[in-house]
Amino acid sequence: MVINKDVVMQNVQRFGGAMFTPVILFSFFGIMVSLSIIFKNPDIVGSLADKGSLWYAVWYVIEQGAWTVFAQMPLLFALSLPIGLAKKNQARACMEAFVIYVVFNYFVSGILTLAGPFFGVDYSLNAGGGTGLAMIANIKTLDIGMLGAILISGITVWLHNRLFDVDLPDYLGIFKGSSLVVAAGFFLMLPVAYFFCLIWPGIQHAIGTFQEFLKASDAIGVWLYTFCERILIPTGLHHFIYTPFIFGPAIVDGGIQQYWLQHLQDFATSSHSLKEMFPGAGFSLHGSSKIFGIPGIALAIYATAKPAKKKAVAGLLIPATITAVVCGITEPLEFTFLFVAPVLFLVHALLAATLAATLFMFGVVGSFGGGLIDAVVQNWVPLFKYHSTTYIIQIVVGLSFTAIYFFVFRYLILKNDYKTPGRTDEDEKLYSKAEYKAKKALEGKMGENVKIDERDLKAAVFLEALGGKNNIKDVTNCATRLRVTVVDDALVKSVSTFTKAGAHGLVKNGHAIQVIVGLSVPQIRERFEALLQDKMAEDVISGTEKSTMLKAFVSGKVIPITQVPDEMFSQKMMGDGVAVYPQTELVTAPADGEITMVMEGSGHAVGMRLESGVELLIHIGLDTVKMEGRGFQVKVKAGQKVKAGEELVKFDKNLIEQEGYSSLVILAVTNSTEYPFMKLSAGMTAKVNETVIATF
């Protein structure tokens, strides 16, 4: 069988992006666990932390909730993978993965109950504590952790992509879709469960041996691990390096971060060396270069920029550096020099590995994978009392490496004349032809006076630069990257097309493309997918998941609903929306839909439900219910289907104002909470049935 390297890279890319889906939750929950432990520590908060106090009780309860993702990590991975891997109906695929994963664990439980000794497993032991057993969804089963969950979830996605749309005869209709997928999974899990019972005890022994090897390799192991984690950043495969260490069983069951948080209270009340208590945490020092190395790189790039461009370069580097140092997301800065000077990235990986190994040799270990936030909350604050010397050494060594980074990068940039930001004759941010074309297309859909959301523009440019929607097979994302599989990679534009539109870089592995976007990638992916789903436009539109657009329902000046002089609307009690100071006296339907309500008697309000599910209330005037219908002519009735632009209510603006009422016409999206990416436009003078005032 011939292995297609391109197909392998596409699948690896999709898998890497999908694997990151649950990881994005770990930082928040890790911070909450740390804060809970800090605020229950008598050495920090004094008598407030005494057991039995309200303070202790509150933080105890918070801590229990904060352990959620760490206590349920395998289940979380099993549920999350289909979000990134399933080709369609991802929500159904998640349910299928949950059921099949639980079935698998019940099968394992049943097999070990009957024949545990045959497989070398003492099933009578309580789960945990090195027994090789774990509790998953209240099932005592083999402790296969995250790796097993990923495998079972991957099998589920494979079944889902092949069986979900299979058309069965009508008399078997009840087994279509998810039922067929789960039924197939049920029977497939029988041999899979037996296979795991047969091989996993041996794998657990091998993992234990590997753990001992890593511990014995001391600083060399830390250096190799950190170098591999950094050097693979451009490929996006670094997830496969750090995940088994930080969240998996490579060092300890459950991963370094979970173990560190579980024992944080012990570390906080012991004067023993942290390295002696948990040497495995040295592998979490890979994040040290984010705190200490990145500032040195940024300073070197700034120092070598042309004097006239230093201000523009600072504007580019400062947010990228803050993102790296504080949040631990380094790609925005690393990709500013990766493609123009790959040697610099190699040097970066070498220095990062040397920094981590040096810190380890000085006795520094801990949870430092996520930048300054992790360093402060999970290390420095709770542990400083007994381990201040360790952290002072860490800061001194780290700042020394900041200086080393600066001088090494500055020397290499100048010696080799690398065209890092600020060293070329081009502007640092150009308004490209692709952006101009996309902007004009968006204005054509929304109106020239509407401010275009930068994320809409980026999504549109990226789509065009990737060869258009007909060239896109699938799209996923991780923390900073839009991961796309294209049909024809020859249609993908140059790196500069993407960077001029705001991307930090582009990685091409045949048909597997990664656009380095930054932290806004989830929102840009939503808009990107909306462009793919649109059947009307060949180039670009604005919007998100449902691509719903509302056009002006009356001509006039548009204001945000928060400026309506009525608390019911301004406080969004009826939902988010806009209002119009009317220049015309006819309210029309902003989109196709059905009339759900007409205010009987007064005629001053109409309700609508659009085909996409959006629910609207159009309210003419303030307190105009008191006019008892004078000046209002309702053109529709409840239950009637209407088209966009169809007449709803004619009103007498002069009469309303003569009787002392405001003629402001308000549109409220009464179920706006269901549309987090809804975008409302205000501040312009809208033309009825033409200007777009909202997109979804």
Catalytic residues: 478
Beta sheet of 586-588, edge-to-edge order:
586-588, 647-651, 632-634
Residue 127 to residue 595: CA distance in whole angstroms: 59
User: In 325-375, which residue ranges form alpha helices assigned H by DSSP?
Assistant: 331-334, 342-361, 372-375
Strand, coil or helix: 330: coil
Contact 674, 610 (CB under 8 A): no
- Nearest alpha carbon to residue 147 among 208, 211, 203, 67: 203
CA atoms of 441 and 16, how far apart (whole Å): 34
Cβ-contact 484, 474 below 8 angstroms: yes
Residues 653, 553 contacting (CB under 8 angstroms): no
Which DSSP string do the residues of 219-273 spell out, in sequence order?
HHHHHHHHHHHHHTGGGTTTHHHHHHHHTSTTTSTT-HHHHHHHTHHHHHT--S-
Q: How many CB atoms lie within 10 A of CB 109?
A: 18
- 550 forms bridges with which residues in the sheet? 694
Taking the CB of residue 431, how many other CB atoms lie within 10 A of it? 11
State the Cα–Cα distance between residues 476 and 525, nearest whole angstrom: 7
3-state helix, strand, coil in the chain (%, to 5): 55, 15, 30
What CA–CA distances, in Å, run from 541 to 333, 488, 684?
Answer: 30, 23, 20
Classify strands 549-551 and 593-598 as parallel, antiparallel or unpaired. Answer: unpaired
Rg of the chain over Cα atoms, rounded to whole angstroms, equals 29
Give alpha helix (H) positions in 466-596.
495-500, 521-533, 567-570
CA distance 302 to 292: 16
- Bridge partner residues of 485 (DSSP): 474, 512
550 φ/ψ angles, rounded to the nearest 5 degrees: -110, 130
The tokens for 455 are 């994320």
